[in-house]
A and B are shown apart, each in its own frame.
Chain A
Amino acid sequence: DADVTQTPRNRITKTGKRIMLECSQTKGHDRMYWYRQDPGLGLRLIYYSFDVKDINKGEISDGYSVSRQAQAKFSLSLESAIPNQTALYFCATSDFDERSKSYEQYFGPGTRLTVT
């Protein structure tokens, strides 16, 4: 079973609709992230959470909100979807690795969202 799962994997929605993307992890990591990927722009950070009580905006948080329901769950919501939010969305987790003395991020498989 995958360590980081995302649901749904694909979604088509209409402008103005509210939509939630969900992320779950079994790695036991405290830190979780949401990114969006656009062609030619790489991945950009939307929100991140360092623990259940901690939520932080990333570089492109406008139009998005998040909820950290538990250590293992981090949801991304689009309150009123618009076409330029069409993108591939990735969830990631990280934690301190004692062996390498560094943080490494582990990515989910992505959710392809299309807003028409």
Chain B
Amino acid sequence: GNSVTQMEGPVTLSEEAFLTINCTYTATGYPSLFWYVQYPGEGLQLLLKATKADDKGSNKGFEATYRKETTSFHLEKGSVQVSDSAVYFCALRNAGGTSYGKLTFGQGTILTVHP
């Protein structure tokens, strides 16, 4: 079956530090990959996505590249802000079959950014 593994958290950084949150996956076929963000007290919001190998998703200064050879989709940001403090979820969606449209999530990584 499908699975998503994220790096263990929590992650604590100072403002303007570089961020990497690792994500690797196991899936059949060619899944789409996503990063969702959950700010305190809110639901999940789509941060970025990539639908095929070597695609790079980007939004709000965050980036992630779909690496099929290493089955990875690591999230990066060059300079984090206090407002980036949230929980980040990596997820995949199968490309077809009866599970079409369903998401498989990683366990989430808590990010705290200090001034």
Question: Which A positions have Cβ atoms within 8 angstroms of B?
Answer: 4, 31, 33, 37, 40-45, 48, 50, 58, 90, 92, 94, 100, 102-110
Contact = CB atoms under 8 A, between A and B. Distances in A.
Contact of B44 (A50, A90, A103): A90
B107 A110 contact: no
A82 B45 CA distance: 29
B102 to A, nearest CB: 6
B58 interface: no
30 contacts: A31-B101, A33-B102, A40-B107, A41-B107, A42-B6, A42-B105, A42-B106, A42-B108, A43-B44, A43-B89, A43-B105, A44-B105, A45-B102, A90-B43, A92-B44, A102-B51, A103-B93, A103-B101, A104-B46, A104-B49, A105-B46, A105-B101, A105-B103, A106-B46, A107-B36, A107-B43, A107-B44, A107-B45, A108-B43, A110-B43
Interface of B: 4, 6, 32, 36, 41-46, 49, 51, 89, 93, 100-103, 105-108
Nearest to B100: A103
B111 to A, nearest CB: 15
A55 B14 CA distance: 46
Interface SS, A side:
strand
A90 B43 CA distance: 7
Given A42-B4, A48-B101, A107-B43, 20 more contacts: A4-B43, A31-B101, A40-B107, A42-B105, A42-B106, A42-B107, A43-B103, A44-B105, A58-B102, A90-B44, A92-B44, A94-B101, A100-B51, A102-B49, A103-B100, A104-B46, A105-B103, A108-B43, A109-B42, A109-B43
A33 to B, nearest CB: 7
A110 B46 CA distance: 15
B47 to A, nearest CB: 12
